[in-house]
Amino acid sequence: MSLFGASPARPGAFAPEFAASAPGIGPAANIETTSLAPLLTPRSVAIVGASGTPGKIGAIPVAMLREYGFPGAVFPVNPKAEEISGYRAVPDIAAIPEPVDLAIVAIPAAGVLHALEACAARGTRAAVVFSSGFAEIGADGLAAQAAMADLARRTGMRILGPNTLGIANIDAGLVASFCPFFRPRFPTGGAIGLVSQSGAFGGYVANLAQDRGLSFSCWITTGNEVDVDVADGIAYLAEDPRTRVILVYMEGARSGPRLIAALEQARAAGKPVIALKVGRTAIGAEAAASHTASLAGSDAVYDAVLAQYGAYRARSVAEWFELGYAYAVGRSPKNKTIGLITVSGGVGVMMADEAVSGGLDPAPLGPEAQDRIRAIVPFAGTRNPVDVTGQMIGDLGRFAEMVEVVLAEHDYGSIVCFNAGAGHTDESGLRIQKVWQQVRDRHPDVYIAISGAVTPAVRRAYEACGCLVFTEPDSAVRTAAIMARLSTSPDLRAPPPAMAQLPLPDTVLDERGALRLLGMAGLPVPEARAAADPEAAVQAAREIGFPVVVKILSPDILHKTDMGGVALDLHSEQAVRDAAARILAAGRAHAPDARIEGCLVAPMIDTRDGVETILGVQVDPIFGPIVMFGLGGILVELLQDVALRRAPFGPAEAIDMIRQIRGAALLDGVRGRPPADLEALAQALSDLSRFAAAHADRIESLDINPFLVRPRGAGAIALDAVLTLRAGDPS
């Protein structure tokens, strides 16, 4: 058992036997949280392996229950002790005089399963298992975890861990943890809910909170997750009335649908979820054959899913924690305008930079307000940022007047003020704080942040009235920008109707089959004909009408262009005949073992008459069917400028997805090009997502490349597609 619950990895959490049996695609039901009450608000606690030796893993939680004034019954289980931390000890689990809500298990791994069985038999409703030495040590540990998971399912006893640093519910006086950072005592009334898969990281965050004078509503570390997982923690905190923000640290979700359900619960409750997900650069081990697979590595899917379901994925530990601080202590901006006040012109520019690049609007003051500012301080900067100049220090009345001019002018969602060194003593700082106290009284909902030198007493005074204090001025603005984005982003979800199952063959589909299937799914596809040999190709071209394109038809050749398998813009029968012969020969030379079924003949569509895009589907093992969108051509590979979204989704969400790529403006028409038919593209993406959701169990990967989006009103069309299927379910 390790002191910090750290382990080399958390294999048990992601091992197949614990994963959902198939990637879910439908909306998961809400995660029920009443069964978590015995874990997080127990009426009584037993400590199995309790110890009286200070510093021991079995001693710390007993001492903590005492120090935090846990109001319920506490039963240390220890055959050799009379009393521990003032609680009367019992010799074994069977001797606990009443069924307890929560058992803390702090014994070596070998005895854990037996102890848990005994607890369940004694009517215990939840258990926290500190013990390590399970999945992280290999097959034996995995088997023990499987037995533990089975016990939880069988008895209904909720199990947290093993290999967890435990939980805390400060207001309830419950610290079921051996983390050293619960001393000194955290104050009650904390608004940050933490869920961390890593105990070591959870402990580190507790230490950060101590340093910053912050407290938690609940602090939850989930460890190896045989039963209670990160989704349970999020769902519980979503419903916990004291929690204002949910900080999540995760390495991976055990079940995608459960994580999504929890995120939905948090969104419905209006609780921001700020996620720190590690594994950004692990793009996946195998070089996948299709575009989609190589672009939509699973971390990219996490990235997309977190955003799609309203969570924010922090880019650094500092940003993650700043957001926790800002939501817990401050106010969330209700719009994207920001008023900037500064004693330094240059720092005003810096804050404006940060505002604009974060998507905030530093809306300028009107001419009358600017005149009023000038009337107060002649050489002030008046537009926004308002530069009150160093003069402010000498005359706080004038400073207060200027601040009120700013706040009266616009309904600014955020106000950030850079003080530099003004107010660096308790006395001067508290005088300036009084100004903001009055602003707060009149404007209870505005995000207010101060940056500059403050003493601890001044900081506490600001925070007591919901004003944030940041060391760095740019960080104060950046935090406002992220919060404003989260609070103003509309909920676009409008689940589209489910699609009926289409008949899928058992094998890989060639281009023609793939396009035909997509046509049945409602996507726009060209008429195209198969031809076994050059003469049949000529006949097909005659029927379709010139000009045509001819492509090799083979389920085994994915990148046709690379091997000379495509001929474009053929205007005559002879050209078609020659091209078909050349292509078939090239195919045989390139891939002697490939099944070559002939050629495909299709109308030549001028790709200059529109924007080439790429649409794709990949089925993620955790989150199920994911749709990809990007600009076509080689630039999609070069810049990886793609957007992902979990299927299914409606056209409004598809528009949002299209707007996420950096090159989206290309579709609006630039340099004389007409705007593209966004509606047709969005409809196709939505239909593709319905197709993907209906056939998630069969799709291995699907690429539509290019998907040509024509000028507005002229629609769009899929010009090529590769669909790889999994074997169908034999049942």
Q: Which of residues 304-323 bind a second copy (CB under 8 A)?
A: 316-318
Query: Which residue, 73 or 635, is less far from a second copy as judged by CB?
Result: 635
Could you give the string, one character per residue 468-507, with x where binding to a second copy holds by CB under 8 A and - elsewhere? ---xxxxx--x-----------------------------
* Member of 663, 674, 711, 715 binding a second copy (CB under 8 A): 663
Is residue 727 a contact residue for a second copy (CB under 8 A)? no
Query: Which residue, 368 or 562, is less far from a second copy as judged by CB?
Result: 562
* Member of 261, 347, 602, 718 binding a second copy (CB under 8 A): 347
Is residue 108 a contact residue for a second copy (CB under 8 A)? no
* Member of 17, 140, 150, 353 binding a second copy (CB under 8 A): 353
Site stretch for a second copy (CB under 8 A), options 77-85, 119-127, 204-212, 493-501: 204-212
Residues within window 538-597 making contact with a second copy, judged by CB under 8 A: 559, 561-562
* Member of 207, 489, 572, 574 binding a second copy (CB under 8 A): 207
Give Cα separations from 121 to 16, 45, 117 (angstroms).
29, 15, 6
Query: Which residue, 481 or 694, is less far from a second copy as judged by CB?
Result: 481
Question: 3-state SS of 275-312?
Answer: EEECCCCCCCCCCCCCHHHHHCCHHHHHHHHHHHCCCE
Q: Compute the least distance from the CB of residue 591 to a second copy, in Å.
A: 15
Is residue 209 a contact residue for a second copy (CB under 8 A)? no
Query: Which residue, 208 or 465, is less far from a second copy as judged by CB?
Result: 208
Which two three-digit tokens encode residue 606?
């001028």
* Member of 70, 87, 181, 399 binding a second copy (CB under 8 A): 181
Rg (CA), the chain: 31
Which SS3 state, helix, strand or coil, does residue 126 take? strand
Plot region of 180 (φ>0 → left; ψ -120 to 50 → alpha; else → beta): alpha
Nearest to 450, CA basis, from 472, 424, 483: 472
Task: State the pairing for strand pair 624-631/642-646.
Answer: antiparallel
* Member of 263, 343, 509, 601 binding a second copy (CB under 8 A): 343
Q: Which residues contact 383 (CB under 8 A, 6 or more apart)?
A: 364, 365, 370
Q: Compute the least distance from the CB of residue 175 to a second copy, in Å.
A: 15
Find residue 448's DSSP bridge partners. Answer: 415
Please give the Cα distance from 134 to 131 (Å, whole number).
Answer: 8
Please give the Cα distance from 412 to 304 (Å, whole number).
Answer: 30
Is residue 607 a contact residue for a second copy (CB under 8 A)? no
Which two three-digit tokens encode residue 444?
């209870």
Q: Which residues contact 278 (CB under 8 A, 6 or more apart)?
A: 249, 250, 251
Is residue 356 a contact residue for a second copy (CB under 8 A)? yes
Site stretch for a second copy (CB under 8 A), options 328-336, 341-349, 432-440, 508-516: 341-349
H or E element, residue 263: helix 256-268
Query: Which residue, 562 or 609, is less far from a second copy as judged by CB?
Result: 562
Is residue 269 a contact residue for a second copy (CB under 8 A)? no
Site stretch for a second copy (CB under 8 A), options 490-498, 534-542, 582-590, 633-641: 633-641
* Member of 18, 75, 87, 201 binding a second copy (CB under 8 A): 201
Query: Which residue, 89 or 678, is less far from a second copy as judged by CB?
Result: 678
Is residue 445 a contact residue for a second copy (CB under 8 A)? no
* Member of 398, 424, 516, 726 binding a second copy (CB under 8 A): 424
Q: Compute the least distance from the CB of residue 669 to a second copy, in Å.
A: 10
Cβ-count burial 522-560 (b if 16+ within 10 Å, e if not): ebbbbebbbbeebebbbebbeebeebbbbbbbbbebbeb
Please give the Cα distance from 481 to 487 (Å, whole number).
Answer: 10
Is residue 325 a contact residue for a second copy (CB under 8 A)? no
Site stretch for a second copy (CB under 8 A), options 166-174, 395-403, 441-449, 631-639: 631-639
Please give the Cα distance from 172 to 98 (Å, whole number).
Answer: 20
Residues within window 357-416 making contact with a second copy, judged by CB under 8 A: 357, 378-381, 387, 389-391, 393-394
Q: Compute the least distance from the CB of residue 38 to a second copy, in Å.
A: 28
Which two three-digit tokens encode residue 148?
């533990």
Q: Compute the least distance from the CB of residue 184 to a second copy, in Å.
A: 13
Q: Compute the least distance from the CB of residue 21 to a second copy, in Å.
A: 26
Residues within window 115-154 making contact with a second copy, judged by CB under 8 A: 132, 136-137
Question: 3-state SS of 183-223?
Answer: CCCCCCCCCEEEEECCHHHHHHHHHHHHHHCCCEEEEEECC
Q: Which residues contact 672 (CB under 8 A, 6 or more apart)?
A: none
337 touches 383 (CB < 8 A): no
Query: Which residue, 44 or 389, is less far from a second copy as judged by CB?
Result: 389
Is residue 284 a contact residue for a second copy (CB under 8 A)? no
Residues within window 669-708 making contact with a second copy, judged by CB under 8 A: 670-673
Question: 3-state SS of 550-575?
Answer: EEEECCCCCCCHHHCCEEEEECCHHH
